[in-house]
Amino acid sequence: MALRSDREDTSAQESALRAARDEAAEVLAELAAEARSLAKAYASRSARVPDGAALAGLVDAARRAEEAVDLAAHDLATARGEDA
């Protein structure tokens, strides 16, 4: 499909948004798995206290991934000439 001469090619921004969403989904899946693991450990009252640092790191990674998705969506909207 040919682009109109007054339209910017947004394929790079669309690709960046897809990649950011994929990364966010992966981080959220890891976060969910870690949270389930900690919940099981606490529920079983295991003698070993689980290390919450991994969970905290994943929460931080999830925040960064969310910001990346927001930025990529903004870039795409801007490239499309939409008010973001």
pLDDT band at 76 (very low <50, low <70, confident <90, very high): very high
For residues 48-63, give the mean pLDDT: 83
Instruction: Tell me the average pLDDT of the chain.
Output: 85
pLDDT computed for residue 50 by the predictor: 64
**Whole-number percent of the chain with pLDDT over 70:** 83
Nearest residue to 66 via CA among 16, 10, 24:
24
| CA–CA separation, 38 and 49 (whole Å) | 9
Of the candidates 18, 7, 3, the residue with the CA atom closest to the CA atom of residue 73: 18
pLDDT of residue 47: 59
Q: What confidence score (pLDDT) does residue 48 get?
A: 66
What secondary structure letter does DSSP report for 50? P
